[in-house]
Structure 1
């Protein structure tokens, strides 16, 4: 399913079977170290949450006032899995469902380098540039997210589903409901660690 075929139903919440919330993982060791960790071979095994990250998650969940969350779906990176497990424990929900389509955007040759380089990549995104450094393009990231939601739409009905993922994935996924190009994702309000936002609600 391509972006154009799924964009209209996402904007029209009444045509969706479920409501979707977006949550970024809590503060991670990668955030504190200021390094880019996007390779699944590394991110699925290392760079989990900090104690502050766990506190952020508890505060975010305890402060959430929306419809009760009924399902949790997360990336299989360590920092998102730990976030999802913490949310499940707080809300007394079943074990989260893992979806590799919600993984961190792959930053190619920038892997392991300073997080300061994100700005360079985002500037290229804004201009629609593609450079051969193996960075995953925004459209490809968007497609992964759309594929996950499409799958969940066939699995569930009348659920409030919390998608726990990573900064760029969530920023890019939100372009679906704003109508802007995925390359313009940084024009949206920054998604903070452990922050919860609606992607689309059936109440809208």
Structure 2
């Protein structure tokens, strides 16, 4: 699955392949795994996720990556390793690409997401149930891109992250209200969205 958005301007220095990790064991079990304490060491890719990445590489339709940068959660680390190996690259960790922290809902059923998203739609600054605010996620995700825009040029950078952070980032890049992030088309596991410098 691919989602390609027009860049905000023609002044991007790099291309970004915004990639959600492949289907994970947390997805398979229907549980929320958003804390580093649980997500860095456990809940990696499911067998389906591994198959998705094999297919993604076999059907590659995007510019050839020159860098692979990823969240340090196991599911994103494994996804990044697969993509990097396919292109002879060495992946690097960027903790600002981590999953959004879901506070009191950590370890609970993923059907709890909907109640947080409803609160998001009312206020992108809320931290009810100790959830990380949408605005905070947007700030750290945008900072990653801003950093690469300042220190590199002409690169094609795969940023491997998670569903909520990527949808929030795409909402911010499109100049939309962060409270509308769930109006973005949901990003499927192993999906890639091309953003930035024109091909």
TM-score higher than 0.5: yes
The runs of at least 4 aligned residues of structure 1 exceeding 3 Å deviation read none
Say whether 1:110 aligns with 2:111.
Answer: no
Structure 2 distance, partners of 1:61, 1:182, is 32
Q: Map of 1:98-177 to 2, 5 A cutoff?
A: 98-128=93-123, 130=126, 132-177=128-173
Say whether 1:52 aligns with 2:48.
Answer: yes
Q: Scaled by the length of structure 2, what TM-score is found?
A: 0.92
Aligned to 2:4: none
Deviations 1:61-108 (A, max 9, x none): 222212211111100101000000011112222x21110000000000
Which blocks of at least 5 consecutive residues in structure 1 are unaligned? Answer: 1-9
Which blocks of at least 5 consecutive residues in structure 2 are unaligned? Answer: 1-6
Residue of structure 2 aligned with 1:190, choices 186, 190, 193: 186
1:142 touches 1:173 (CA, 8 Å); kept in 2? Answer: yes
- Greater fraction helix: 1
Q: Scaled by the length of structure 1, what TM-score is found?
A: 0.89
Structure 1 distance, partners of 2:128, 2:185, is 28
Structure 1 distance, partners of 2:127, 2:94, is 28
Deviations 1:22-45 (A, max 9, x none): 110001110001000000111001
Structure 2 distance, partners of 1:146, 1:134, is 22
2:13 touches 2:197 (CA, 8 Å); kept in 1? Answer: no
Q: CA RMSD in A?
A: 1.4
How far residue 131 of structure 1 moved from its aligned partner, in angstroms, is 5.0
Deviations 1:104-143 (A, max 9, x none): 0000001000000011111111122725311011110000
Count of residues in correspondence between the two structures: 192
Structure 2 distance, partners of 1:32, 1:75, is 20
